[in-house]
Amino acid sequence: MRLIKMFLFVLPSLLASNHASAVGKSTVLVCYGRLDPESIKGYDYVILESQFYNIYEIRKIKSQNEKVLAYISIGEVNEHAPHFKEIKDYTAGKNEIWNSYYLDLKSEKTVNTLLRIIDRTLEKGYDGFFLDNVDNYTTWGAQPNQKADLVKFLKTISEKYPEKIWIQNAGVELIDETAPYVDALVLESVATNYTFDDKSYKLRPEADFKAYASKLTDISKKHNLPVILIEYADTEKLYKQVLHRIKPLGFEYFIGSIELQSLPTFK
């Protein structure tokens, strides 16, 4: 997903400081940064960068939450990833915007590397994975010619670990083909529209929001698939406006700041 790809999404906390106040707690927690395991409590889904936690910490986090999942990109790899050197010669071009490289799912080497990472991470006790960059394989993505390879990969991991949870990030266009192999769909900025150019937090136009929300509701019903919304806010006022919009939909949700390195609070 484009907005959160280099950040970790974290859900609001109940903690308050002298300068900011917490206004509630989202149902999902996602974080690419390091958090104190003791502070991660009471979420339906927790999505983490697995390299920051050991097996004992994952046990602790699992005891305090419903489901704990690890992050993995199945569309790109950056130079700082532990497996970059192993597959750098098997990538399919560079994403200049994010300084990362597109994965080639036609490559046996790439697929085997991803499967090994998944195997080793699940050994820590995770309940499954958050699968990022699925939208790369859509019509307007960088790898539309590998759509069949993506579906094959999802089928492989779903069948290998049928008891695990696989959450698809974006890629709505592919949902008719991927739905049999995933357990939830994440969509970003349905109610909000953060822009990087001016670092602006704002609501999406009401008509656009309603159209998008209606489409997601239809998808959820058609495929009996949970939907998780990721929204961005920097003030308590905007947080409440977002919550007012999305709460009636009945979806799991995250509302937080774009930095996503700590539990957010809102002024």
At 229, which helix (H) or strand (E)?
strand 227-232
> Which pTM was predicted?
0.88
pLDDT digits (tens, 9 = 90+) for 202-242: 999 999 999 999 999 999 999 999 999 999 999 999 999 99
pLDDT at 11 over 50: no
Q: b/e map of 20-44 (b: 16 or more CB within 10 Å)?
A: eebbebbbbbbbbeebebeebeebe
pLDDT digits (tens, 9 = 90+) for 55-72: 999 999 999 999 999 999
Q: How confident is residue 96, by pLDDT bands cut at 50, 70 and 90?
A: confident
Determine the 3-state secondary structure of 116 from DSSP. helix
Q: Say yes or no to pLDDT of 8 above 60.
A: no
The fold of 28-256 is TIM Barrel (3.20.20)
Give the separation between CA 239 and CA 256, rounded to whole angstroms.
8
Report which of 30, 15, 8 is spatially closest to residue 254, judged by C-alpha positions: 30
Q: What is the DSSP string of 120-167?
A: HHHTTT--EEEEE-GGGGSTTSS-GGGHHHHHHHHHHHHHHSTTSEEE
- Record the tokens describing residue 252, joined without a space: 């799991």
